Copies of this chain bind each other. A is one copy, B any other.
Amino acid sequence: MDEPLNLVLFSGTDDRLQAAAVLTAGAAALGKPVNVFLQYWALHAFTRAAIGDDHGLAPEAGSAGRAAVTALANAGQATWAETLRQAKDLGSVDIQACSLSMDLLRLEPEDLDPLVDGVEGVTAFYLSAGEGQVVFI
């Protein structure tokens, strides 16, 4: 359990981000360090300007899926951002923005939500990952 879990977040829809947050929180609860690397549309979702928005769901969710997600949110389910904040309190969770995606979206570090710990390139991501599992979401 010493090797970290390494999540590459690419997708920025609320359902995939929630799945990623649950995987992060579960690993943190087990004492496993988690590295999160934000690319493309996931990075956009972690900006100060966008983190509180509705980021939509995968197209396959359909109207029934939409209704289920909304009902659970109305019943008080934590958002993915709240779940990640809790996971950071619970364990070792490091969230880094991909420098190439920062350029793509023309973002500066001050544009990012405080959940994000820094900006790094893919080489630094691999060096942190070590021999731990890499999961692309």
Residues of A within 8 A of B (CB): 3, 5, 8, 10-13, 15-16, 19, 22-23, 25-27, 29-30, 32, 39-41, 44, 55-56, 58-61, 65, 68-69, 72, 98, 100, 103-106, 121-123, 125-127, 131, 133-137
* Residue from B26, B39, B72 within 8 A of A126 (CB atoms): B26
- A134 pairs with B133, CB closer than 8 A: yes
A44–B121 alpha-carbon span in the complex (Å): 29
A-B contact pairs, 15 of them (CB 8 A): A5-B134, A10-B19, A19-B39, A22-B39, A22-B100, A26-B123, A26-B125, A29-B123, A40-B61, A41-B58, A56-B60, A59-B59, A69-B104, A72-B103, A136-B137
Q: Which residues of B contact A16 (CB under 8 A)?
A: 10
A56–B127 alpha-carbon span in the complex (Å): 31
A15–B103 alpha-carbon span in the complex (Å): 14
Q: Which residues of B contact A11 (CB under 8 A)?
A: 58, 60
* Residue from B22, B72, B103, B125 within 8 A of A122 (CB atoms): B22
A15–B106 alpha-carbon span in the complex (Å): 16
A125–B5 alpha-carbon span in the complex (Å): 14
Closest to A2 in B: B131
